[in-house]
Chains A and B, each alone.
Chain A
Amino acid sequence: MADFDQELDASGLNCPLPILRAKKALSALSEGQVLHIIATDPGAVKDFEAFAKQTGNELVESHEEGGKFHFLMKKH
């Protein structure tokens, strides 16, 4: 997996918490920095795509590994 600047473990959290936590974490980053989000909510896969599309942040990577979902979100 590519490099990231900060990690957010949203494992065990359900909708809409992973998105809300990610939004909060992203606001602390500067433009171009990357947030690594780990989630277990299967709904998060589509939700992070939608989040990126609507906020202008870039979803660099999205994959499943060991029953967990990993996302790399680059702050715009």
Chain B
Amino acid sequence: MSGKKLAIIATKGSLDWAYPPFILASTAAALGYEVEIFCTFYGLQLLRKKMDLKVTSLGNPGMPMPIPMPVLMQALPGMQSMMTLMMKQKMKSKGVASLEELRELCIEAEVRLVACQMTVDLFDFNTSDFIDGVEYGGAATFFEFAGESDITLFV
């Protein structure tokens, strides 16, 4: 089809920030792009068999809150789990796909998922925790694909 290429670097491992790479990758693939997501640092969470990602309002004053709440209260035990639960419910009610579904669609569309070997080692990640089909490589591996890509995004 278009023969275009999209390269994405995914660096974040929270529930909300896991969306942009998967949404853009799956949509680009549907438009005929060849896509690679290079996951580094916390973006490696996107490759775990069980993602179990969380959302937090801490350090994120832009997150809309159902009720105004002092920051110290937002740091109380259980708050992060509660916010994650509320966010997931809200997403479901608005017909937003789950991350698992989007990732599955990416895999179906043959989006290449690359794990940054250096950060895998740095965080002592066990590669058996990652989904099948993940490739491992470094910065040079990224540029091999990014160098001939039409679009390159850092998320």
Given the contacts A13-B95, A14-B97, A20 and B30 also touching, CB distance less than 8 Å: yes
Query: Is A60 an interface residue when CB atoms closer than 8 A count as contact?
Result: no
Query: Is B122 an interface residue when CB atoms closer than 8 A count as contact?
Result: no
Closest to B25 in A: A16
- Evaluate contact between A14 and B95: CB separation under 8 angstroms: yes
B71 to chain A minimum Cβ distance, whole angstroms, is 30
- Evaluate contact between B30 and A19: CB separation under 8 angstroms: yes
Residues of chain B lying within 8 A (CB to CB) of residue A19: 27, 30
Residues of chain A lying within 8 A (CB to CB) of residue B94: 14
Within 8 A of B (CB), among A22-58: 23, 40-41, 51, 54-56
- Evaluate contact between B26 and A54: CB separation under 8 angstroms: no
A67→B2 CA distance, assembly (Å):
33
- Evaluate contact between A16 and B31: CB separation under 8 angstroms: no
Residues of chain A lying within 8 A (CB to CB) of residue B23: 15-16
Residues of chain A lying within 8 A (CB to CB) of residue B96: 14
* Most A CB within 10 A of own CB, among B26, B27, B96, B97: B27
Query: Is B107 an interface residue when CB atoms closer than 8 A count as contact?
Result: no
Within 8 A of A (CB), among B1-27: 1-2, 23, 26-27
- State the 9 A-B residue pairs at the shortest beta-carbon distance, nearest first: A23-B30, A14-B95, A16-B27, A12-B95, A13-B95, A14-B96, A54-B31, A17-B97, A16-B23
- Chain A residues in the interface with B (C-beta under 8 A): 12-17, 19-20, 23, 40-41, 51, 54-56
Beyond A12-B95, A16-B26, A20-B27, 20 additional pairs, beta carbon < 8 A: A13-B95, A13-B97, A14-B94, A14-B96, A16-B23, A16-B27, A16-B30, A17-B97, A19-B30, A20-B26, A40-B95, A41-B95, A51-B30, A54-B2, A54-B31, A54-B32, A55-B1, A55-B2, A55-B32, A56-B1
- Chain B residues in the interface with A (C-beta under 8 A): 1-2, 23, 26-27, 30-32, 94-97, 105
